[in-house]
Amino acid sequence: MRIGIDFDNTIADYDRVFPMAAVEMGLLSGSAANSKAAVRAILRNRDGGEIDWQRLQGQVYGQYMSNAELIEGVGAFLLTAKASGSNVQIVSHKTKYGHFDTAEIDLHEAARSWMSTSGFFEANRFGISPDAISFLPTRAEKVNRILQLNLDVFIDDLPEVFSEPGFPSATRKLLFTNGKSIPKGPFEQISDWTGLEKTVFCRRI
C-alpha cells in the first residue's frame, strides 16, 4: 500500500509551541492563550494581527520547530505501516522560508531535522526513507505530487486539499479532524490516529 501523509498539524503538533513563541516574541502575555487556535483567534482579531500571525508562523515552523510534538497515535500508525510493508510518503505544502523571517531559517531542513530526531529515518523505528519527504511551495504542486506518487491513501488535516482541482480521484481521502467539527465534504472524516490506523489497515484496535 502507498500511503501519503501531510506534515504540519497532521503529524507534528504545535499546540504548545504557538503560545510559547507568541509570548517570547512579545505578541501575547503569558496567560492570553493556550493553543494554536486560541493564539490565531486573538492575533487575527486585532489591528495588524494578520501580519503578526504570519510572522509567528514563520518562527514556529523554523526557530521553534524542535519544540513540536508527535501527535498521539502517529507513532503506532507508522509502526503498523512499516510492519505491513507499506510505502509511506510525507507530502507537505511548506515554503522554504517563513513569512517576514529576516534570519531566513530553512523550514524544510528544520522539519527534516525534527523528523530525524523523532526517529522517522531510523531502521529500528519508523524506517521512512529521507527521499520519501516532499515539501512543495503551493497547494497545487502538493496535489500534483500526490498524483505523481500514485498513492492509495492520503491523510490530511485540511479539507481544502481534497477539493483542490486535480486531486486524484483514485486516492482515498482521509481527513484527520483531531476532534474538530468539520462540514461534510469529498472525504472520510477520522477523529484520531487510532481511528486512522483501524481504517487504513482494517484492524481491530
Note the pLDDT tens digit of each residue in 168-200.
Answer: 999 999 999 999 999 999 999 999 999 999 999
Higher pLDDT, 193 or 99: 193
| Closest by Cα among 100, 23, 118, 89 to 62 | 100
Distance CA 28, CA 17 (A): 13
What is the DSSP secondary-structure string of the chain? Answer: -EEEE--BTTTEE-TTHHHHHHHHTTSS-TTS-SSHHHHHHHHHTSTTHHHHHHHHHHHHTTTTGGG-EEPTTHHHHHHHHHHTT-EEEEEEE--SB-TT-TT--BHHHHHHHHHHHTTTT-TTTT---GGGEEEESSHHHHHHHHHHHT-SEEEES-HHHHHSTT--TTSEEEEE-TT------SSEEE-SHHHHHHHHHT---
CA-to-CA distance for 130 and 120, rounded, in angstroms?
Answer: 8
User: Half-sphere exposure of residue 169, counting CA atoms within 13 Å on the CB side?
Assistant: 0
CA atoms within 13 A on the CB side of 190: 21
Q: Is the pTM of this model over 0.85?
A: yes
What whole-number distance in Å separates Cα of residue 75 and Cα of residue 171?
Answer: 23
Cα three-residue angle 135-17-164, rounded to 5 degrees: 35
Q: At the fourth CATH level, which superfamily is domain 2-13+69-201?
A: HAD superfamily/HAD-like (3.40.50.1000)
Q: Domain residues of the chain, as ranges?
A: 2-13+69-201, 17-66
- Bridge partners, residue 91, by sequence: 134
Distance between CA 18 and CA 44 in Å, rounded?
14
Alpha-carbon gap, residue 129 to 123, rounded angstroms: 9
CA distance 172 to 191: 16
5-14, 44-53, 164-173: least confidently modelled range? 44-53
- At 55-79, the pLDDT tens digits run 999 999 999 999 999 999 999 999 9
Predicted confidence (pLDDT) at residue 48 exceeds the cutoff of 90: no
pLDDT in tens, 116-171: 999 999 999 999 999 999 999 999 999 999 999 999 999 999 999 999 999 999 99
Asked if residues 150 and 137 have their Cβ atoms less than 8 Å apart, the reply is: no
Q: How many residues does the chain have?
A: 205
